[in-house]
Amino acid sequence: MSLMELIIPILASLVFAVVAPVVGCLLAGVDRILSARMQGRVGPPLLQPYYDVRKLMGKERVDVNTVQGAYVVCAFIFACLAGGIFFSGGNLLMCVFIITLSSLFLIMAAWSTRSPYAEVGAARETMQVMSYEPMVLLFAVAFYMATALILPTEGIGSFNVGAAFSLDFPVIAYIWPVFLGLLFILTIKLRKSPFDLSMSHHAHQEIVRGITTEMSGSTLALVEVLHWCENVLFLGWVSIFFVWGAWWSVLIAIVVALAVYFLEILIDNNFARVKWQFMLKSAWAVALVGGGINIAVLAFV
Amino acid sequence: MRCGTHSGTPIAVPLSHSHEVNEKGKAEMQLIATLILLPLIAAILLLIIRQNTARTIIVCAFGTLIALASVVFAGTYLAAGPVFFDFNHPLIDHACTAISGLCVVVILAFSAKYKNIWAALLAIIQIIVVMVVEFGFASQMEVEIGLYTDLLSIIMVLIIGIIGSGICIYALGYMEDFQAHQDAAARDRRPTFFALMFIFLSAMFAIVLSNNMSWMFTAWEVTTLCSFLLIGYTKTDEAIRNAFRQIIMNLAGGIAFIVALWFAITDVGTLSLIEFLQAGIANPAIVAVPITFLAFAGITKAAQMPFQTWLLGAMVAPTPTSALLHSSTMVKAGVFLLVKLAPLFLLNTIPSVMVMLVGGITFLLCSFMAISQTNAKRVLAYSTIANLGLITMCAGVGTPEAVWAAIFLIIFHAIAKSLLFLCVGTAEHHIGSRDIEDMDLLFERMPRLARFMMLGIMCMFIAPFGMLIAKWGALVSFANMDQIALILILAFGSAATFMFWAKWLGKLAGIAGQPPNVELSVHKSEWVSILLMVMLLVFACIALPAISAYLVEPYVVSAYQFAPVAFLVQDISFDNLYLASISVCIVVIALFCGLGRSKKRQVDVYLAGVSRDDDARAFQNSLSGQTVATARNWYMEDVFGEARIAPVGVVFNSVVMLCAVVLALVGITLA
């Protein structure tokens, strides 16, 4: 191993920490405009999410305990690391594990407050992680097995995102059921209705701000930025299905990612929140059918 | 090299060049002898000198000595590769037979006292088989190489020597509190307790260092007996009941072990572990039956379903016992044997499928059941069984990557679990409860302990800590072998693992947020041991790339000389391991330096009313009265309850094991 291999993902994480919030902010702005149009409203300006965050930054610094802010900072650092690993072509499993660590820190931030509302949110967020985690792991395994079939290396696959650029054709050809499964759980990861159990931006839900109930000012602003970064990373996961050796495949991938984002907004505005039982059962069923059958087929090809 | 005289198919197995018998022989023997004898001397001293102060000195001194001896041992043989000691004497063989007999006599005595017919029956069957094997066959078998050491043994020696001794020292403070809670009239049986702990360590050293499998069997039986006595230590009805459950299951495992030795003599013609392994690699079919029985023994010891109940029952024992059983001894002997046999599983379908399925189902179902537990020690127990299941699964797969993962799981599980048990034990004595829900309010004045516990929990289930890196290796090896069922089991089991650890971690996070209060009466010995585990944990997580390069990988390469090791370099490349190390540093710094530094103004939490008492979550309601908000964790009894899930695993795994044993026996008969 050379030092460079270690430095690249770290540098990439720093770049990600700057670029992803910008892209994520614009995506959030588009989300709000599209949502408003779907509800028959005009909606805020494109940069409204940025104005919101800037205003939060200027608020008085108060907190319910001395640790919450530190947890949120950790969540942000690890989200950036996960993004850096992914976009520098690093190991997909490592990326998946690190983003889970980031979610865990957010959950701990909520739990550390001992507020009943935040605790409900944290418990629900834990449930959400348990619901989507199998599908995410199967996504990484399926990517590995698909590259094993496509790469010219004869049966040796790769977990490295960068390997996608050596493919003759994109992995979607072999693992489209996994792609559909990932789309399903993406609704949970993007905190969209009907799976926005732990926190929501729809004011009519029974618990709106669950996990962020006790966060305010700069801490809340950082959570917002963290959310933007996560969205960029997850859309990156979606687009990796469509990348292959040709450079212009990246454009196709971006178009697909944006289409998926639109689909998520559409779903968000058309479904009512479900109970956790349905979320757990449906997400696990999707992982078992979409992920399980797909990798079984790959194994026996 | 002489092979068995009484063998159906005598096979001369030349020892390969790296397996040269150590010429210096006796001189180097001293270190191994020290490791095995030091704890025995400590045990004898503890039984003779029963005074409290003297006991403290003996335990501390011998604990330190044993830990130092194991470090010196590791340092001496680290670079040497596998070393074999030309050491055997009929006296030792006779002593082993005598010790086996003694174990059975003790078990029979207790069975008679508590009128337990099953334990007595199994003990009698065992002693008959032992006598037949020892005097009928084994007396003609000569194993020239009595003892050996390789890198796996070194890893185990370090785990037993350092963690095991740490737990013994911790027990000093714990047992003082424990004794204070007992009747004043009750006899102080602590000398027996500590003596048993040290005998346990001695037996464990013997298991991981014996090349003569009949010596190994004797040590195996000693650990069974020690844990029987330790579980029944309190002599309550429940303790006695659970101790007998343990002894019945492990006697069954012991019988399987001795039957395996029988087949090893008749089919393979050797009792030497290394020759057995080499014969198995050269001709996999002849070891199919013995390794099926050895796997059975390993599975009972590692408390895999359907035998999981003995480890759950063992929770009635004082916490240091649980810590010892779960982390460095007993169950680790089971998985040590399975990992040792892993290369043979790669070549033998029937035992391999049995071990994979039993381990996999245990991992999945026990992870589910852990979600529904409120008792902290039961959560720990289920998590231990689940992780042992994962190790068993890896051993069953038997590829070099899977063995790499299994060894790391053993290392990190040992450290993290002992830390967690010690923390729960200390918490229990200060809040008077093991219930996670009680940890909320009562435990809040121990923020330092809460953070240690959080670190231990994080190591158990989340990247970048060791256990998850090992799971990662397991996942890669399953993917390479196209083991679809195991991949699915790992994916769903890990999700459940996240759930039950994260909600416990959340409870603790609330405590770590409180202002520190030094109003603590934790014994110094307890802090010392807990700190030792914390430092070991942080060290092992950060030094993971080095441990992999200098200990685990060389072992895997030497164990798989017959198969080219296309290694993890490409799948878990080293930059990822270093990235994980860096992430560990960030988390540790955040946990111990970053928390509690905020200078922001403090306000009350939002309670939909005017807050009256933030700690109690009391607020003023709309009628100006006081209402207390309550929130509990999710346990989802109706989805993940024991009553629903346990029978499935017990039935499934029993059928799998029965089929495997029958098929293996049929196979040998047909051949």
* Residue pair A229/A75 in contact by the 8 Å Cβ criterion: no
Q: What is the pLDDT of residue B139?
A: 67
Q: How buried is residue B98: exposed, middle or buried, by Cβ count under 10 Å (0-12/13-18/19+)?
A: exposed
Q: Do A137 and B490 touch (CB under 8 A)?
A: yes
Give me the pLDDT at residue B248, please.
94
Q: Which of B509, B583, B631 is the closest to A112 by Cβ?
A: B509
Contact A137 B475 (CB under 8 A): yes
**pLDDT for position A2:** 63
Residues of chain A neighbouring B463 (CB-CB closer than 8 A): 94, 97-98, 100-101
Please name which of B291, B230, B247, B211 lies closest in space to residue B118, comparing C-alpha atoms.
B247
CA B457, B575, B560 angle in degrees (round to 5)? 85
Mean pLDDT for A226-243 is 96
Instruction: Take residue B294 and report the two structure tokens written for it.
Output: 């050895």
pLDDT higher than threshold 70 for residue A13: yes
Contact (CB, 8 A) for B504 and B422: no
Interface test with B, best of A60, A93, A275, A277 (most B CBs within 10 A): A93
Q: How far off is chain A from B480, nearest CA to CA, in Å?
A: 8
CA distance A3 to chain B (A): 8
Residues of chain B with Cβ-Cβ distance to A291 below 8 Å are 488, 491
How far is B488 from B479, CA to CA, in rounded Å?
10
| C-beta atoms of A295 and B507 within 8 A | no
Residues B520/B445, Cβ–Cβ less than 8 Å = yes
Task: Confirm if B3 and B276 have CB atoms less than 8 A apart.
Answer: no
Relative to beta strand B83-86, strand B145-149 is antiparallel
Q: How far is A2 from chain B (nearest CA, A)?
A: 8
Strand pairing partners for B618? B613, B628
Question: In B, which residues are within 8 Å of A64 by CB distance?
Answer: 602-605
- 3-state helix/strand/coil string of B242-264: HHHHHHHHHHHHHHHHHHHHHHH
3-state secondary structure of B188: coil
DSSP state of B21: E
Give Cα separations from A241 to A92, A152, A254 (angstroms). Answer: 12, 18, 11
pLDDT for B606 equals 80
Residues of chain B with Cβ-Cβ distance to A139 below 8 Å are none
Residue type for position A165: F
Q: Which residues contact B60 (CB under 8 A, 6 or more apart)?
A: B169, B172, B525
Tokens (6 digits) for B262: 């029988």
Contact (Cβ atoms closer than 8 angstroms) between residue B334 and residue B405: no
In sign, the C-alpha dihedral spanning B308, B312, B317, B318 is: positive
Closest CA to A114 of B617, B613, B503: B617
- Bridge partners of residue B611, in order along the sequence: B619
Looking at CA atoms only, how far is residue B329 from chain A in angstroms?
Answer: 30
Roughly what angle, to the nearest 10 degrees, separates helices B190-209 and B52-77? 10
Q: Is the CB of residue A301 less than 8 Å away from at least one CB of chain B?
A: no
Instruction: Give contacts of B492 with chain A, Cβ < 8 Å.
Output: 134, 284, 287
- Measured at the CA of B293, the angle between CA B291 and CA B294, to 5 degrees, comes to 60
Cα separation, A93 vs B405, in Å, equals 15
Task: Look up residue B576 and give its two tokens.
Answer: 């990822």
Pick from B200, B411, B389: which is nearest to B311 by CA? Answer: B389
Position B27 scores a pLDDT of 54
More confident of the two residues B632 and A185: A185
The verdict on A168 touching B (C-beta cutoff 8 Å) is: no
For residue A7, is pLDDT > 80? yes
Give the closest-approach CA distance of A276 to chain B in angstroms.
Answer: 11
Contacts for B107-111 with beta carbons within 8 Å, 24 or more apart?
Answer: B107/B225, B107/B228, B107/B247, B107/B251, B110/B228, B110/B232, B111/B244
Token pair belonging to B509:
């996070």
Return phi, psi of residue B302, to 5°: -85, 10
**Would you state the structure tokens that stand for residue A260, as one six-digit string?**
């998926």
pLDDT band at residue A136, thresholds of 50, 70 and 90? very high
Q: Would an 8 Å CB–CB cutoff place A177 in contact with chain B?
A: no
Helix ranges restricted to H, B571-619:
574-589
Confidence of residue A60 (pLDDT cuts 50, 70, 90): confident
Dist CA A136 CA A128 (whole Å): 12
Q: What is the pLDDT of residues B594-643, one digit of tens each?
A: 776 777 787 888 887 787 777 778 888 888 888 888 777 888 888 888 88
Residues 6+ apart with CB under 8 A from B252: B122, B300
Identify the DSSP state of B314: G
Name residues of chain B where pLDDT drops below 70: 1-28, 138-139, 440-445, 511-521, 564-575, 596, 671
Q: Would you say A148 and A155 are in contact if contact means Cβ atoms under 8 Å apart?
A: yes
- A62 and B464 in contact by Cβ < 8 A? no
Q: How many helices (H) and strands (E) does chain B have?
A: 27, 7
Q: How many CB atoms lie within 10 A of CB B586?
A: 16
DSSP β-bridge partners for residue B86:
B145
- Tell whether A3 is within 8 A of chain B (Cβ): no
The strand pairing partners of B389, in sequence order, are none
Contact between chains at A129 and B502 (C-beta distance less than 8 A): yes
CA distance A184 to chain B (A): 17
Q: Write out the two tokens for B362.
A: 């245990």
In angstroms, the CA B433 to CA B331 distance is 26
| CB-based contact B468:B474 (threshold 8 Å) | no
Q: What is the CA radius of gyration of chain B?
A: 25
What is the predicted ipTM?
0.95
